[in-house]
Structure 1
Amino acid sequence: MPRRGAATFVDVRYPGDALCATIGRPSRYRGLMTGPAGRSGLWRQPSDGVWLTASSLLFIGIDVGLFLAAGPTTGFLGPYAALTLMVACDLALLFLFRFPNPVAGLLVAAALAMLASDLFAPGLLLPVEKPTLMTVPTITPVVLSQLARLLDRRRLLWIAGLLALLAARPWDPAWNTTPFGLLSTALPVAISLYFEARKQLLRSLRDRAERAEREQHLLAERARAAERRRLAGEMHDVVTHRLSLMVLHAGALGVTSADQQVRSAAENIRREGAHALDELRDLVGVLRDNSTGEPKAPNPPPAGDVADLVAESTAVGIGTELSVRGDPAVVSPTVARTAYRVVQEALTNVRKHAPGSSATVSLHYHPGGLEVCVADTGAVGPPDPALAGSGSGAGLNGLRQRVELVGGTFEAGAAPGGGFRIGAILPAYVPTTEGAAR
């Protein structure tokens, strides 16, 4: 609801457009302005005041010139009665946008008075020797052209028809009266109505184009959502099945084998396969469309502890320090697994491409989410060609996609003091069933 005392604008579109009401902002079409705040100005825009003032002064100059050419009036209203009436109509143009109905009424009253003076009291409001045979104010074409934008169609036609009748004098047609009367009344209205109709048509076409663009965007979003559901279904049906078989076979091998090393390796394979299933289940939950209403299993615990990754990196000769601030409980398991993968991939890159360097892992937990940063000091010697070439080259791109999938931001690049830095800013939760529950 608008505030008490605020201006209220009602936007009305004519045939071909939908009815639109806008509260609290100016109308793009015809405006009916009410309320105390609406009475503070005469014009909708400063440029309106400029051209209205210029037009009013121009027609005042024309009327003064006609007065000097025709001479004063001879009636009891004085020698300047005709000039005073014309100047009053010219000055009324300044108030046209604020008071369109009173200005139109003044114009009609002036035309009636001029016609009555010409028929019954020559010299009263028109000089006896008239420079023109027009019996409407000279400002009439400008006023009528703007009333086409300000008044409803029926009222405009009534006013324009009455002024055309008074100006053309069909009861006494003459070549020097009727054509000029129609040109000064009917023609401006017809031209203004044409341009208004064209403007409304262009607005309508623009609205349709914008609506079609929005519909295309919605269709594209729907297609992407359908593709995500299809991808989630395929991952669930194919990859999960194969991983489950791998975990079962590794568990069976660990139970039946008599060799301790084989049992240990089988347990590692089973554990990593179980972690992969957990992450795959979480990724499927992110890809699925929640609007389908499909029940989803609760998300599993995090895939691992970052401290274990730091210990593994230190064990292989990469001095790694871990800095943790805040409470890890503020983020969901989905975000914790994403942070785990960021640190894992970053430390893997350090081992591959920066041998002899040291690394720092920083985790900052806060109510808004988690900030992850992994930085190394730079390679001391050349990397091992076999180790450096063992990757697919898509590790950082994969990390970026993983981080953006949960709504985070990712950056990677050279550190100012040397070395390489990988950072990610993650939200506290992602819009899955798990996140909604939290």
Structure 2
Amino acid sequence: MEKSRPFRPGPVDTLWLTLAALAFAGLDISLYVFGEPTTGWAGPAAGVAMQVLFDLSLILLFRFPRLVGGLITVGALLMLASDLFSPGLLVPERQLTLMTVPTITPVVLSQLARLMDRRTVLWLTAILVVCASRPWDAQWNTTPFGLLSTAFPTAISLYFEARRQLLRSLRDRAERAEREQHLLAERARAEERRKLAEEMHDVVTHRLSLMVLHAGALGVVSADKAVRTSAEDIRREGALALDELRDLVGVLRNGANAEPRTLTGGAAGDPATLVAESTSVGIPTELTVHGDPGRISPAVARTAYRVVQEALTNVRKHAPGSTATVELRHHADGLEITVENTRRGATPDPALAGSGSGAGLAGLRQRVELIGGRFDAGPRTGGGYRVSAILPAYVPTAEGNA
């Protein structure tokens, strides 16, 4: 059985309990003023003093429930002893109410189910039921009212407490089931990524390796300088593509829990080259670099290169006549990239603007998010466009260790 959590009262609970204590104290004082006083050796105010003491003890109920419950039980036993052995000592011989236990008893019993274990509550209730109902001298004006003031509030309180615990248990079970479902979904996605990584490794990587080898061989055996230059370009780009593919395979295979490592594959291109190319085709572009570029791994550097490359390509396609800025901020946690361009100053070439698949930024977003980064692209206020990305310092790839 699930262990019940302790009840922690809030300011509202304490406030209403204090108000209830003062209200019952006022009620008992009113009964004393308009009713008969006690006539025993303890004096005429003995009964009301005891009742007010019990009423004010309600303020301490949340802090000391056992003490208050025991005090009310002792008070009920004293009232019973007064009626049996010394009438009028603590209870007037003719009362204005039918209560034969402390007036505050129903309120105390209604709260004890939340504050104490069930067995103790039932024992206290049983004692108070006997004191209130007087089964040895059952009367229509005392026994039913005694049961209503003792057994009834306890039964109602225990019912609502059991219902609250049941609802909490059902809610906890639903949350556990949701967490388990989420874990199963994550496991399924990890398995799909693993299968995709194996397919890419076995097929695509193998084909790219053959392409690089053939290009290298062509550059060695060809006598034509132009062919050798083209073959070397193919070999170099193929090697870079192979390194990037291995990075992506490593991310797919190991997920976000793999240990980061610094790759030793092909280096990324220099963003300064992209900036120079953009300037040479009529888009004045400025490059600003903050921090140490050596803090990031080559896999991250290659992704950053692709972000800058795609952003400047879009500027050339869609914003001729504009100016652009590229800002790279290196810090201990990673790299922030910002590429912005002003409003275009000429009409884009339809042939150039219509080239491509139209999925460059979407693919770039997927690539950035795959290595644990964030990507954002959209129009600037006042015209122009802005592409930004935040990349981690390291990518959890382990393909090179496979």
TM-score surpassing 0.5?
yes
| Deviations 1:130-164 (CA, angstroms, capped at 9, x unpaired) | 33454211211111111222222222122111111
8 Å CA contact retained: 1:136, 1:163: yes
Counterpart among 216, 220, 228 of residue 251 in structure 1? 216
Q: Equivalents in 1 of 2:175, 2:49: separation in Å?
A: 52
Q: Equivalents in 2 of 1:298, 1:323: separation in Å?
A: 25
Q: Equivalents in 1 of 2:386, 2:172: separation in Å?
A: 48
Q: Equivalents in 2 of 1:333, 1:77: separation in Å?
A: 93
- The aligned counterpart of 2:236 is 271
Which segment drifts farther, 251-260 or 338-347?
251-260
- The aligned counterpart of 1:45 is 10
Alpha carbons of structure 1 residues 415 and 79: separation in structure 2 relative to 1, 3 Å: closer
Query: Is 1:115 matched up with 2:92?
Result: no
Q: Equivalents in 2 of 1:292, 1:96: separation in Å?
A: 51
- The aligned counterpart of 2:134 is 169
Q: Equivalents in 1 of 2:55, 2:286: separation in Å?
A: 85
- The aligned counterpart of 1:5 is none
Query: Is 1:403 matched up with 2:368?
Result: yes
Query: Is 1:393 matched up with 2:358?
Result: yes
Q: Equivalents in 2 of 1:361, 1:117: separation in Å?
A: 93
3-state DSSP of counterpart to 2:137: coil
Query: Is 1:228 matched up with 2:193?
Result: yes
Query: Where in structure 2 are the equivalents of 1:86-101 lying within 5 Å?
Result: 86-101=51-66
| Deviations 1:14-59 (CA, angstroms, capped at 9, x unpaired) | xx3147xxxxxxxx5346xxxxxxxxxxxx4322232223222332
8 Å CA contact retained: 2:190, 2:255: no
Aligned-pair CA distance for 1:198: 0.5
Alpha carbons of structure 1 residues 123 and 311: separation in structure 2 relative to 1, 3 Å: closer
Which segment drifts farther, 243-252 or 161-170?
243-252
Aligned-pair CA distance for 1:63: 2.5
3-state DSSP of counterpart to 1:218: helix
* Runs of 5+ unmatched residues, structure 2: none
Query: Is 1:17 matched up with 2:17?
Result: no
| Deviations 1:207-229 (CA, angstroms, capped at 9, x unpaired) | 11111111111112212211221
Query: Is 1:145 matched up with 2:110?
Result: yes
| Structure (1/2) with the larger helix percentage | 2
3-state DSSP of counterpart to 2:136: coil
Q: How many residues align?
A: 400
The code of the aligned residue for 1:426 comes to L
| Deviations 1:236-270 (CA, angstroms, capped at 9, x unpaired) | 12211222222233233333433332222222222
TM-score normalized with structure 1 length: 0.83
- The aligned counterpart of 1:29 is 6
> RMSD value over aligned CA atoms?
2.7
The code of the aligned residue for 1:369 comes to G
Query: Is 1:414 matched up with 2:388?
Result: no
Q: Equivalents in 1 of 2:256, 2:371: separation in Å?
A: 18
| Deviations 1:332-382 (CA, angstroms, capped at 9, x unpaired) | 111110111111112222222233444333333232322223333443322
8 Å CA contact retained: 2:290, 2:329: yes
Which segment drifts farther, 242-251 or 224-233?
242-251
Q: Equivalents in 1 of 2:351, 2:195: separation in Å?
A: 38
Aligned-pair CA distance for 1:82: 1.9
Query: Where in structure 2 are the equivalents of 1:263-342 lying within 5 Å?
Result: 263-289=228-254, 298-342=263-307
* Runs of 5+ unmatched residues, structure 1: 1-15, 20-27, 32-43
| Deviations 1:74-124 (CA, angstroms, capped at 9, x unpaired) | 222222222222222212212222222222222122222211221121222
Q: Equivalents in 1 of 2:26, 2:268: separation in Å?
A: 87
Q: Percent identity?
A: 68
Alpha carbons of structure 1 residues 434 and 125: separation in structure 2 relative to 1, 3 Å: same
The code of the aligned residue for 1:324 comes to V
Query: Is 1:203 matched up with 2:168?
Result: yes
The code of the aligned residue for 1:241 comes to H
Query: Is 1:182 matched up with 2:147?
Result: yes
3-state DSSP of counterpart to 2:339: strand
The code of the aligned residue for 1:205 comes to L
Counterpart among 327, 336, 351 of residue 316 in structure 2? 351
8 Å CA contact retained: 2:21, 2:58: yes
Which segment drifts farther, 387-396 or 363-372?
363-372
The code of the aligned residue for 2:6 comes to Y
The code of the aligned residue for 1:79 comes to P
- The aligned counterpart of 1:126 is 91
Aligned-pair CA distance for 1:202: 0.7
8 Å CA contact retained: 1:403, 1:426: yes
8 Å CA contact retained: 1:110, 1:136: yes
Aligned-pair CA distance for 1:287: 1.4
8 Å CA contact retained: 1:278, 1:303: no
Aligned-pair CA distance for 1:196: 0.6
